[in-house]
Amino acid sequence: MDEPRIVIIGGVAAGPKTAARARRLAPKADITIIERDRYISYAGCGMPFFLAGSVREFGQLFTTAYGVVRDADYFRREKGVRVLTGNEAVEIDRSKKEVLARNLETGEEFRIPYDKLVIATGSVPLVPPIEGLDLKGVFRLNHPEDAIKIKEHLEGVSEAVVIGAGLIGMEAADALREKNVFATVVELKDQILPGILDRDMAEVLAARLEEQGMEFRLGQKVLRIEGDGDGNAAAVVTGQERLEAEMVIVAVGVRPNVELARKAGLKIGETGAIEVNRHLQTSDPDIYAVGDCVENLHLVSGRKVYIPLATYANRQGRVAGDNVTGKKSVFKGVLGTSVMKVLNWNVGRTGLGQQQAEDLGFNVVTVVNSAHDRTHYHPAHGLVLMKLIVDGNTRKILGAQAIGPGEAVKRIDVAAAAIHFGATVDDLFDFDLGYAPPFSSPIDLAQHTANIARNKMEGLAPSVSAGEVKAKMDRGDDFVILDVRTAQQFGAKHLEDDRVMLVTLGDIRERLGEIPRDKEIILLCAMGVRSYEALRILHGAGFRDIKYMEGGLQAWPYEMD
């Protein structure tokens, strides 16, 4: 094609990536970015780390890896791209193929013609309908200036409330803890990281974070933020209590910014974001859309989803850069792969969650595995709790989640690759993964988790979850919890219940006669390995009503003595 006039609306992530890729492919193209803000091409995901102090200088969020500031001059000199900061795209005239823009300082309006247009207008924060959002000390964390204001306000603050336990809220709470600010997280839903973790994984994570001093108020609706009489935030009031707070961070999610696209008559999808095809074209073939303003195809469910993530924005920018310059690249879809760190715990998920898979009609099999991320004798080994969601009919992996102070994210990336290519749990075991004691165990924990799923589906490892055991205990069911840890481990911490029986794994063959055969036996250990071994011993001895608790006590989120 002839060198095109390319206009891009939006200059944060997807827009600049589109421009950079288009320039490499079309050296003579006329490329313009319109951005209403004065900040462009910034690392929004780095803002919590700036608050925490691990990113020391604000400017680091705007520089290249080689130290050059990514501003309009940088794009002009190094990319050959014209960036119009402080200018807002007001209207798209599709018939004339022009964008009407307005200078926000002078009010002057002007038109920019295009051959190909890219909409990268991103998202806007959701504003909950509560009183007190205008008080001093109430912030969001969606923009660089938010980060600056929060950091300036932190001086002297000792108590804060974060509204929302999603990714941004949890990262904000983590940053506050790094600055020695006591943070309470309030969440409308009854678990942390809703939409990221299944309830069982979220409960374990919340319990471990609470052990380190973080507090949660789950299933509570915020009614209002109260002031102190001088216009400063003083407390957050929920339906159950009043929480004192010298600072409040509101992080209840975002919605796609689609008003410009809607006004132009472009099709808005079922999720409320802009509908695009595999080439990221909108309903107008000369207009593309990328980043947080678009919906995507979920590769497992086959349904349209709205999952705004920086990874998608950047990858889509490359695809759009290809297509506006004449190539025919596709963006196949997403798995919702998300990772984060809170306190000393790593968190990740990919693919479908358990409830999502069940709602879609899959024959769902789940397993939870507690394991070390590397050999147990390596001094840097750490715990990872990994969950697989599997289709019992096809044995394909549908989703994976992992949490722990150990290296969880590596395993989520392996699972994401497996799901992308339609791998089964059998395929995952066959993956040729790298091994050395500083990095893994000889059979990686992701493969161990796959093997647990294989054993479960083949009837070798009948199991129950920690939640199911707790429910049985609360109902007063008549069963036996057979703890097979050592006496020393049992003495340090155990389930306080008359139905608990201690029989160390090494003694179990000699004590078979003491174990009742007329009751259900649930086997328990620290991580699940010994209890599975014990289950197979009991099975060989003729016991039939036997199960082991997945993940062991590492997966137990409830109080213990």
Task: Name the residues annotated as catalytic.
Answer: 45
CA–CA dist 461, 533 (Å, integer)? 10
Residue 259 sits at the vertex; the CA angle it makes with 278 and 138, to the nearest 5 degrees, is: 110
Q: Which two tokens stand for residue 34?
A: 């319109």
Q: Which two tokens stand for residue 477?
A: 């069911």
CA–CA dist 280, 109 (Å, integer)? 29
SS (H, E, C) 287-329: EEECHHHECEEECCCCCEECCCCHHHHHHHHHHHHHHCCCCCC
Residue whose tokens read 């997966």: 555
Read out DSSP for 241-273? -EEE-SEEEE---EEE--HHHHHTTPPB-TTSS
DSSP-based three-state secondary structure for 381 = coil
CA–CA dist 109, 248 (Å, integer)? 38
In 3D space, the residue among 283, 237, 245 whose CA is nearest the CA of residue 264 turns out to be 283
**C-beta neighbour count of 530 within 10 angstroms:** 22
CA–CA dist 378, 258 (Å, integer)? 51
Q: Which two tokens stand for residue 124?
A: 């806007």
CA distances from 405 to 208, 346, 352 (A): 10, 6, 23
Task: List 256's β-bridge partners, or say none.
Answer: 123
CA–CA dist 109, 266 (Å, integer)? 23
Residue whose tokens read 């790593």: 346
CA–CA dist 132, 135 (Å, integer)? 5
277 CB-near residues (< 8 Å, 6+ apart): none
- H/E stretch holding 464: strand 463-464
Sort strands 479-483 and 520-524 into parallel, antiparallel or unpaired: parallel
Q: Which two tokens stand for residue 536?
A: 């197979």
Read out DSSP for 482-536? EE-S-HHHHHHS----TTEEE--GGGTTTTGGGS-SSSEEEEE-SSSHHHHHHHH
482 CB-near residues (< 8 Å, 6+ apart): 501, 503, 515, 521, 522, 523, 524, 531, 534
DSSP-based three-state secondary structure for 96 = coil
**C-beta neighbour count of 561 within 10 angstroms:** 7
CA distances from 267 to 117, 181, 275, 354 (A): 15, 45, 6, 32
